[in-house]
Amino acid sequence: MMRALVKHPDGPGLAMEDVPVPDPGPDEVLIRVHTTGICGTDLHIYEWDEWAQATVPAPMTVGHEFSGHIAGIGVNVGGFEVGELVSAEGHVVCGKCRNCLAGRRHLCKEPKGLGVNIPGAFADYVVVPKQNVWRHIDGLDPEIGALFDPFGNAVHTALAFPVLGEDVLITGAGPIGVMAAAVAAHSGARNVVVTDINEYRLALALRMGATRAVDPTKTDLKALQGELGMTEGFDVALEMSGAPAAMDDILANTIHGAKVALLGIPAEAYAIDWSRVIFNMLTIRGIYGREMYDTWYKMNVLIQSGVDISPVISHRFPAASYEDAFEAARSGEAAKVLIRWAD
Ligand code: NAD
Ligand code: ZN
């Protein structure tokens, strides 16, 4: 038996329960979970909001950000060894749709989410399909490995457009926004300006390498551009808050021909000033998940070439204190909250 954080359909909250250790099927890998991270998605599932009720087949074990060591290997699985430190790509693709068949798995028609649609990693053990297992580079800290899922969102978005020599605006200094700031700075952006309405997170953005981190309700972004010697606006914008006001800031502060990557998920549909998009000839690109496995490869390279994402870890809790972990994650004064399962 093992411990697992299970979502039940009867209301908010999660329950720590003893459940059987899952058996890996012929094409699956069993992983002893070391460290997990709490994502905004997990908070929605915990709260059991409308989206969660319509999406999660409760009762089910949740969680998708993790690292762990291989503990069992299905008979058809080659190339992995027991004891290796791994994480998993959380999107399990169908393998049959037009994009999957063409090798564009990140564009799968109906990916299933680990810990969202299928049993997840907030447990002592998790089983994942072999094609979703990512072996980490030698010596990687398991805590950094547990960040690879959201780090991948940051890398996928930050590298969606060339940033070398460019002025980059990042709206939203959550864990993903601040990691994107580190990646953009490392990748040669001239200025990386991060906006948020939370002071704790603005301070973190500066620690992660932002040139400036400001509250856009208090600092005029046009004036800030002047201070930084910019004249025509940001070349690249990364939307990482989901806030409609942030999209307005992007439209008002980007250069003609700017490239805009959207990762933040809005709570509901909202209107923008489309004439700005048209007259300024903006390119807008939606970003979902990570590219399999180009983004993962780049994460390795970024870490090996000196990007330090460890400051994004604000809290660590043992699995037994999961309620405290979720409370910390809900508070404004947190970035990435980790839950440790291994001894
Ligand atoms: P988060 O919720 O921790 O961070 C969002 C930040 O945006 C918060 O710090 C908040 O204070 C800030 N914010 C709110 N209003 C703002 C405004 N007007 N201007 C600037 N900032 C503002 O989220 P995260 O975990 O860092 O993820 C970032 C976003 O990406 C979220 O919207 C999340 O749902 C989304 N997401 C998307 C994908 C994907 O594949 N597309 C994957 C993971 C997360
Ligand atoms: Zn598919």
Question: Hey, what are 168's tokens?
Answer: 């980059």
Task: Choose, from 34, 44, 91, 136, the residue flagged as catalytic.
Answer: 44
User: How far does the centroid of ligand 2 lie from the alpha carbon of residue 91, in Å?
Assistant: 10
Q: Is the pLDDT of residue 212 over 90?
A: yes
Q: Is the pLDDT of residue 289 over 90?
A: yes
User: How far does the centroid of ligand 2 lie from the alpha carbon of residue 291, in Å?
Assistant: 13
Residue 110 CA: which ligand is closest?
2
- State the average pLDDT for the chain: 98
Which atom of ligand 1 is closest in space to residue 266's alpha carbon? 32
* Predicted local distance difference test score (pLDDT) of residue 229: 97
Which atom of ligand 1 is closest in space to residue 241's alpha carbon? 7
* Predicted local distance difference test score (pLDDT) of residue 57: 98
For ligand 1, atom 9: residue with the closest CA: 174
| Closest of 260, 267, 307 to residue 287, by C-alpha | 260
User: How far does the centroid of ligand 2 lie from the alpha carbon of residue 120, in Å?
Assistant: 20
Query: Under a CB-based contact definition with an 8 Å cutoff, are residues 239 and 250 in contact?
Result: yes
Which atom of ligand 1 is closest in space to residue 287's alpha carbon? 41
Which atom of ligand 1 is closest in space to residue 335's alpha carbon? 3
Q: Is the pLDDT of residue 79 over 90?
A: yes
Question: Which domains are present in the chain?
Answer: 2-147+309-340 (3.90.180.10), 153-286 (3.40.50.720)
Query: What is the tens place of the pLDDT at every residue in 175-195?
Result: 999 999 999 999 999 999 999
| Closest of 25, 137, 159, 44 to residue 87, by C-alpha | 137
* Predicted local distance difference test score (pLDDT) of residue 34: 98
Element housing 254 (H / E): strand 254-262
Instruction: Kindly state if the Cβ of 90 falls inside 6 Å of ligand 1.
Output: no
pLDDT band at residue 293 under the 50/70/90 scheme: very high
Q: Is the pLDDT of residue 329 over 90?
A: yes
Query: What is the tens place of the pLDDT at every residue in 272-286?
Result: 999 999 999 999 999
* Predicted local distance difference test score (pLDDT) of residue 211: 98
Query: Under a CB-based contact definition with an 8 Å cutoff, are residues 29 and 81 in contact?
Result: no
pLDDT over 90 percentage in the chain: 99
Residues 194 and 213: their CA atoms lie apart, in Å, by: 5
User: How far does the centroid of ligand 1 lie from the alpha carbon of residue 163, in Å?
Assistant: 21
* Predicted local distance difference test score (pLDDT) of residue 217: 98
The pLDDT of 91-96, averaged and rounded, is 98
User: How far does the centroid of ligand 2 lie from the alpha carbon of residue 113, in Å?
Assistant: 13
Question: Hey, what are 321's tokens?
Answer: 């204190």
Q: Which residues surround ligand 2, an ion (CB under 5 A)?
A: 93-94, 97, 100, 108-109
User: How far does the centroid of ligand 1 lie from the alpha carbon of residue 200, in Å?
Assistant: 14
Instruction: Kindly state if the Cβ of 177 falls inside 6 Å of ligand 1.
Output: yes
Residues 289 and 73: their CA atoms lie apart, in Å, by: 26
Dihedral sign from CA coordinates of 12, 322, 334, 38:
negative
Q: Is the pLDDT of residue 343 over 90?
A: no
| Closest of 202, 207, 153 to residue 185, by C-alpha | 207
Residue 99 CA: which ligand is closest?
2
- Compute and round to an integer the Cα radius of gyration of the chain: 20
Instruction: Kindly state if the Cβ of 152 falls inside 6 Å of ligand 1.
Output: no
Query: What is the tens place of the pLDDT at every residue in 134-154?
Result: 999 999 999 999 999 999 999
Per the annotation, the verdict on 44 as an active-site residue is: yes
Instruction: Kindly state if the Cβ of 238 falls inside 6 Å of ligand 1.
Output: no
Query: What is the tens place of the pLDDT at every residue in 160-170?
Result: 999 999 999 99
Is the whole-model pTM more than 0.95? Answer: yes
CA–CA distances in Å: residue 280 to residues 168, 231, 233, 264, 273: 17, 15, 11, 22, 11
Per the annotation, the verdict on 41 as an active-site residue is: yes
